Structure 1
């Protein structure tokens, strides 16, 4: 315990102001804000008139000088101080708010397992904050602060700038314009964090090292609009939101990730937006830009500002509304199991409409073909969406593309048969081709048979030979027009032509009937 006589002049000022919650401002009273010696980064050079021992702050926060005044709420408010020693409040039950502005810390701040009121470190320079398992009844505000990596966290073996692992915050976490520096380590370790308010890392926020929020519960949303994530962990992760639960995740409006963004297993009850973002992937180029396997979201906006440098993995993801644009997809996209209710493209306007829906289908099929290997589900999903939208023709084009893609995976004989089905009936999705072939074969047969005379089966019986009717009789497999049974070709080319027409008639007529039936059923 301190005696009052042991306190320095600025410490006495802080001691006297604490019971009334008055602010103590030790910043130099000089015009302008650009003086080198008044910058927080230069706080290590500040003299005794701006120095407060961390032990004094710790003593006040633990109730050493409550001295409550009527109508006043005790609170530690300090600005422009050089704080020497370590602020160690681990496990403490703190009844007062801590409000520090533009202060320079000599050592890390330890709040491990503490229960505290609002914490504000605004515009400060801190060599690490350990707040794992901390309960904050209010906001945790680090706006404009620079938090450097210190020793490995109590929870983690890796160097960490800010630890909120398993913490609980009833208000919001505010990191607007803050810098968290742990290059190659963990800039933020917040696995299991439980929030009641929002998590804000808006323009100017920079993290050097991995931002980890696996399993976090963020009902107030995560807002990283315009944030920049650099120098990821050795695994190449810039942002880890695996298995997290959030109402809204905004990684948009200039958000830049120089590392993998992982949303594997995340659940977003409203909007997940990358609109205007840049996903560069790991700096070494080995790894995906976005992995969102098994992710669930209502509204998923992937209208990026530039194509992702690495792959995008959406295997097993489920979204109600997918928004994409011309820069959304890289050269490799994992789409197997990806389910969506509808697709909206940012490339609207007269220019795109003029190209028509056919080009849109070609664009979507090319999108699916970016997946490595053959998987039928992405084609079925796209066709299902077209059918639900009332575009049956587009759905058939997609399913035809599926069959063509599948053909490449078959053995040579099956591939040859597939080429035949494609050319003749479009795998049944272009039934009109069967009609075209039937007309062409009818013309071929009529001309071929018309220049020759067959032999009657029985002399003097049956109808006269008619080349057109005879050809139709060969091509139509059901019923009969009396020509095929009354006339025959003894041998030669015309006999084999007749056999060929019979075989093709079965195939083409069956395909034509199937196509008409499918059209009538609106499939």
Structure 2
């Protein structure tokens, strides 16, 4: 015959009452002492041996009521060992003191409720609970090199509730719940959690949460690592961190959401985040199916990578930083390289400060399907860029304020203010509040080096709006900036001179009217030279320009005013004549005549060039490329 299962002998009166209550499904109230007093009490009416709880759940004390083992105000002595227990009824310990460890590894329970209880450790890796895990108001202080609450790979079919909990772990994580799976919600509302380890005060890496995760009004501190480490977490609902106080330390960040997938929105409204040696939020490659709100947030950090990291993130809804205050003394305040925002990116009345060479707001390579609205944004840095928009793609309006970069964006002349912006390969559909002249000012005087694309993009936007005159002005400014900041690209010194002259005469092909005016001036000068030649004596009885010798006009006969002007024009025109040279011409046998001839040849060459440029400019054949 199999040996009988050993059971506890000599039950106290209180323990007998616990057994009887468990059979009837009622709660036993052992005392009404404060939980701290209860932890030191040895009154037999308050004490229940932890081994009895295991016996009850294993069925060694007979059949139990489905409402479970329910005890309030008890002092449990010894370790509560529920490891591998397969119970048919749940356990509720309310306002109990459990000074020694609770083991529930690989246990299966219908429910577990430890509301307002005092403990040192809850070790429950691979625990399976068919309903809820309730840890409301628990007090847990762990001084060992392990987690205060360990739920690694646990499966909770209902909700997990840490509301109002006070959890401290001096060496390990306060809550270690990597690979946790729950089909419902996870609450950390009004909790106070303190830890001192590199993994995270609350670690939820690769967890799967079927509902929302709420840290509202919580205070979470880790002196050596992240306060919340939720890399690769998958949650079906919202992530709520509003009005939380988060203090982390180290390069991993105060809050880590790297590679996470949030089925709802991320709410950081009113949060206060601090990290003295790393980023405040590291959400690189995060994907949220709804909005990202960081309104009235306060962030202080020291990270070369940046304070609020969203590199490669994907935000399906609105992203809003309103009244935010973000300070990073080593790097960007906001770093969102190659992120994707499928709605509006809204930064309103925010104050951001950054250090290092990168932009205070780094949006390089970002794609924004909605508008980019930066209204009332104040960005400060002791060096580097204020905003980096390199290779960003904006499918709608760019609502930026020029004063973000320059206090005098309407000035026409050179600007020596220190604000810098990067716009190379930034594309956008239209400008919002900023005028094209202000945008042009930023391109010319507040980018680090000459780049053609920002000019071409602005010109394309103005041309699409029907403002061709503005577009020509922008493209002329581009060539002037090329000559000012990158003259080597034009070639040697003569080539640079030709470029400058071409700008003056024809506006680099964008002002054909100037060429027409120059052509008129050249022909006028040619006609004037013809008239002057008719006033210069070359030898007795002869002029530099005189009538052609005929029987009716002997040698030395002066030409009329009209004939002299016509002579100059005929000499200057490259094609076509007035026919007046057949009656009046230069006397090329004299030095004066030869001099006037050479001068008019020079004008003729200029007229040829001007006429050619005017035609080519009008047809757009030789406008300077970008």
Report the TM-score when normalising by structure 1: 0.79
Q: Corresponding residue for 1:31?
A: none
- Tell me the distance in 2 between the aligned counterparts of 1:179 and 1:200: 14
- Tell me the distance in 2 between the aligned counterparts of 1:11 and 1:169: 37
Task: Extract unaligned runs of 5+ from structure 2.
Answer: 1-48, 55-70, 81-88, 97-114, 143-147, 195-200, 407-418, 535-543, 554-558, 622-626
Task: Extract unaligned runs of 5+ from structure 1.
Answer: 27-48, 67-72, 152-158, 348-359
Q: Corresponding residue for 1:213?
A: 283
Question: Aligned pair in 2 of structure 1 residues 120, 172: CA closer, same or farther (>3 Å)?
Answer: same
Q: Corresponding residue for 1:440?
A: 521
* Preserved CA contact (<8 Å) 1:99 1:119: yes
2:556 equivalent to 1:460: no
Shift of 1:501: 1.5
* Preserved CA contact (<8 Å) 1:24 1:77: no
1:334 equivalent among 422, 446, 466: 422
- Tell me the distance in 1 between the aligned counterparts of 2:610 and 2:74: 97
* Preserved CA contact (<8 Å) 1:442 1:468: no
2:293 equivalent among 209, 219, 223: 223
1:182-331 residue pairs with structure 2 within 5 A?
Answer: 182-185=248-251, 186-208=253-275, 209-210=278-279, 211-233=281-303, 235-259=304-328, 260=332, 261-282=334-355, 285-298=356-369, 299-309=371-381, 310-311=384-385, 312-321=387-396, 322-329=398-405, 331=419
User: Residue 381 of structure 1: SS of its match in structure 2?
Assistant: helix
- Tell me the distance in 2 between the aligned counterparts of 1:132 and 1:390: 54
- Tell me the distance in 1 between the aligned counterparts of 2:340 and 2:191: 34
Q: Corresponding residue for 1:135?
A: 208
Report the TM-score when normalising by structure 2: 0.66
Shift of 1:22: 10
2:507 equivalent to 1:426: yes
User: Residue 447 of structure 2: SS of its match in structure 1?
Assistant: coil
Q: Corresponding residue for 2:105?
A: none
* Preserved CA contact (<8 Å) 2:116 2:135: no
1:104-123 residue pairs with structure 2 within 5 A?
Answer: 104-107=166-169, 108-116=174-182, 117-123=184-190
Question: Aligned pair in 2 of structure 1 residues 489, 371: CA closer, same or farther (>3 Å)?
Answer: farther
Shift of 1:92: 0.8
Shift of 1:263: 1.3
* Preserved CA contact (<8 Å) 1:277 1:305: yes
- Tell me the distance in 2 between the aligned counterparts of 1:366 and 1:332: 11
Question: Aligned pair in 2 of structure 1 residues 475, 145: CA closer, same or farther (>3 Å)?
Answer: farther
User: Residue 385 of structure 1: SS of its match in structure 2?
Assistant: helix
Shift of 1:236: 4.2
Question: Aligned pair in 2 of structure 1 residues 5, 192: CA closer, same or farther (>3 Å)?
Answer: closer
User: Residue 457 of structure 2: SS of its match in structure 1?
Assistant: helix
User: Residue 78 of structure 1: SS of its match in structure 2?
Assistant: coil
Q: Corresponding residue for 1:391?
A: 467
- Tell me the distance in 2 between the aligned counterparts of 1:246 and 1:23: 42
RMSD between aligned residues: 3.4
Structure with more of its chain in helix, by fraction = 1
2:145 equivalent to 1:76: no
Q: Corresponding residue for 1:417?
A: 498
Instruction: Point out the structure with max Rg over C-alpha.
Output: 2
Q: Corresponding residue for 2:578?
A: 481
- Tell me the distance in 2 between the aligned counterparts of 1:448 and 1:514: 28
Q: Corresponding residue for 1:511?
A: 613
Question: Aligned pair in 2 of structure 1 residues 468, 279: CA closer, same or farther (>3 Å)?
Answer: farther
User: Residue 533 of structure 2: SS of its match in structure 1?
Assistant: coil
Residue range with higher mean Cα deviation, 188-197 or 218-227: 218-227
- Tell me the distance in 1 between the aligned counterparts of 2:72 and 2:204: 29
Q: Comparing both chains, which one has the higher relative contact order based on Cα–Cα distances under 8 Å and sequence gaps of 6 or more?
A: 1
Instruction: Give the total of aligned pairs.
Output: 460
Shift of 1:51: 5.2
